[in-house]
Amino acid sequence: MSHVSLERVVRCWLRAIQWLRDDAASQIVEFAFSLPLIAFFVIGIFDFSQAYGEKQKLINAAREGARIGASQPTQDLTFPPQPPSVTAIARTVGQYMQSVGLNDCGLASPGGAVITTPGALAWTYTANGCPGFEPSVEVERGVPTTITTASPYGGGTMYLQNTRVTVTYPYTWKFASVVRLVVPGATFSGPTTLQAVAMMQNLN
């Protein structure tokens, strides 16, 4: 009886060894080890694509703000703390962000931003509608540039005044949540700040 039991045990061990040597079993083990890495790369590709798309939207928002700013009057730039023409530029940027599905966190709304003056003829509108997530718009109305004129406009240097709009927007990476699947205990440092800049000549 004991002989039969021992024979059964040996058979079971042989079957287990054969199963472990089987290609299907090894493929399952390999897939289990590689799945976190595959998920990391797939989510990473999606994440970078989304970040690139948001960057393009911010560039267009900055261009829209600069386009509106170029046509705004300059007579009110001495009105503290927020010249109406500058506020119109910041709200235009916020409205464009809304139209393309970005969260403006209040930039387009009256009172939706904290206004600071980092320099002469410069104002920064920082959204206050989303704690911990603060997109901002910096508007500079007196950015100088020079161009050299040629015939038939005569030779020499022409000085121009421009409006420059800088949009900053925090982006939270999605693949940060799967980093620990690949490297246990790893951490990922917070959001990355996306930035877009556009500048156009003042027409007024």
Query: Which sequence spans correspond to the domains of the chain?
Result: 23-201
Amino acid 47: pLDDT: 87
Please list the ranges in the chain whose pLDDT falls under 50.
1-3
Classify residue 36 as exposed, middle or buried by CB count within 10 Å of its CB (0-12, 13-18, 19+).
Answer: middle
Amino acid 10: pLDDT: 63
Amino acid 188: pLDDT: 64
* Residue (of 153, 190, 200, 186) closest to 40 by Cα position: 186
Amino acid 175: pLDDT: 72
Amino acid 195: pLDDT: 97
Give kind and range of the element (H or E) at residue 74.
none
Amino acid 2: pLDDT: 46
Taking only the tens place, the pLDDT of each residue in 27-80 is 666 666 676 677 777 878 888 899 999 999 999 999 999 999 999 988 888 776
Place of tokens 């901002």: 136
Q: Is 199 within 8 Å of 143 (Cβ atoms)?
A: yes
Amino acid 89: pLDDT: 95
Amino acid 77: pLDDT: 83
Amino acid 88: pLDDT: 93
